[in-house]
C-alpha cells in the first residue's frame, strides 16, 4: 500500500501541471566572488554575463563562485531510493524533466555533478545509451575528477557493450583510481575485460570477489552473475552456466536479468526457464 502511494505520488508529480512541468521548474541561487547572491527561476546568460531575474543587474560568468540548483520534488535521497528499489524508468523520466533544461550549464561551478551521475547511471541501466553518452559529455564539462572518473567508468561499460575492447581498456586505464569510485564496479569492469581478452581465470576471480564481498549490491551483483554464466559458457561448461542462469531467473523475476538467464539457459541447454 505504501509503495503504491509512493508510485502514485511520483506519477502525479510527472503528470500534473501540464506545460509548466514539461518545461521543468527550478530555482538557482547564484553567488559571486564579492559574496553577494541572488536567486533566479531561469538562468539568463548572454555572452559572458549572467543576468538577474528582472535584468536590472548582471555579473560576469568569471565572477560566479557557485550556482546552486534547487528542484521541487527532486532530491539526491529520492534518486538513491528510486534507483535501489528498481523504479529506474520513472527516475529517468524525473531526471529528464528536471535536468534536461539545465545540464547545459554544467560548465559553471554548480551542484549538478551528483545529479548528473544519477542521470547517467539510470540512463545506462534502462538501455538509453545514446542519452547516456550525451550525459557523459555534460559530466566532463564539470571538470571535477570525482564525477569525470565515474562517468568514464560508465563509458567503459558502453564501449564494452559495443565490442570496443581496446578502447574500453584505454579509457579505464585513464581513470585515476577505479576502486575509489566503486569497488564492485571496478571488479566488474576488470572481470569483463579479462573475459573478453580470453583470461577466464582472472575474470572469474573478479566475479568471485563481487559475490564474496558485494552480494547485497543492487547495481553490480546482477550483472556479475550474468558475467559468471557467460564465463562458464566460454569455458564450455554448459551445466554450470545453466545453474547460474537458474539463479538469475529465480532471483530477479520479470527483469532484464531473468531474461538474460533465460537466454543463457536456452543457449546452454536448448530450454528456457519458466
Q: What is the pLDDT of residues 174-200, one digit of tens each?
A: 999 999 999 999 999 999 999 999 999
Residue 220: φ, ψ to 5°: -105, -20
- pLDDT over 60 at 16, yes or no: no
* % the chain with pLDDT above 90: 81
- Kindly report, residue by residue over 77-133, the tens digit of the pLDDT: 999 999 999 889 999 999 999 999 999 999 999 999 999 999 999 999 999 999 999
* Model confidence band, residue 33 (pLDDT cutoffs 50, 70, 90): very high
- Which grid cell sits at 198? 580470453
Sole residue written with cell 528498481: 86
Range with the poorest average pLDDT among 32-46, 69-83, 125-139, 231-245: 32-46
Predicted TM-score (pTM) above 0.85: yes
Q: Across the chain, what does the average pLDDT equal?
A: 90
SS3 content of the chain, % helix, strand, coil (to 5): 65, 10, 25
Amino acid at each position: 500500500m505504501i509503495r503504491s502511494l509512493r508510485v502514485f505520488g511520483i506519477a502525479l508529480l510527472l503528470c500534473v501541471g501540464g506545460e509548466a512541468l514539461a518545461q521543468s521548474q527550478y530555482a538557482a541561487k547564484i553567488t559571486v566572488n564579492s559574496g553577494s547572491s541572488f536567486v533566479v527561476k531561469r538562468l539568463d546568460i548572454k555572452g559572458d554575463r549572467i543576468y538577474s531575474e528582472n535584468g536590472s543587474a548582471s555579473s560576469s560568468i568569471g565572477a560566479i563562485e557557485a550556482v546552486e540548483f534547487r528542484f521541487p520534488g527532486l532530491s539526491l535521497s529520492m534518486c538513491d531510493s528510486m534507483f535501489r528499489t528498481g523504479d529506474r524508468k520513472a527516475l529517468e523520466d524525473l531526471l529528464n524533466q528536471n535536468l534536461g533544461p539545465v545540464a547545459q550549464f554544467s560548465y559553471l561551478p554548480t551542484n549538478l555533478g551528483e545529479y548528473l551521475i544519477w542521470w547517467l547511471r539510470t540512463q545506462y541501466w534502462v538501455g538509453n545509451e545514446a542519452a547516456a553518452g550525451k550525459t557523459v559529455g555534460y559530466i566532463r564539462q564539470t571538470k571535477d575528477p570525482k564525477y569525470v572518473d565515474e562517468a568514464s567508468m560508465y563509458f567503459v561499460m558502453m564501449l564494452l557493450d559495443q565490442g570496443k575492447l581496446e578502447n574500453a581498456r584505454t579509457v579505464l586505464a585513464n581513470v585515476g583510481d577505479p576502486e575509489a569510485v566503486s569497488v564492485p564496479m571496478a571488479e566488474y569492469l576488470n572481470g569483463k575485460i579479462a573475459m573478453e581478452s580470453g583470461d577466464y581465470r582472472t575474470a572469474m576471480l573478479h566475479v568471485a570477489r563481487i559475490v564474496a564481498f558485494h552480494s547485497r549490491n543492487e547495481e553490480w551483483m546482477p550483472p556479475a552473475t550474468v558475467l559468471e554464466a557467460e564465463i562458464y559458457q566460454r569455458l564450455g561448461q554448459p551445466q554450470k552456466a545453466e545453474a547460474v542462469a537458474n539463479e538469475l531467473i529465480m532471483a530477479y523475476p520479470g527483469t532484464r536479468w531473468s531474461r538474460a538467464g533465460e537466454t543463457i539457459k536456452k543457449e546452454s541447454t536448448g530450454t528456457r526457464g519458466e
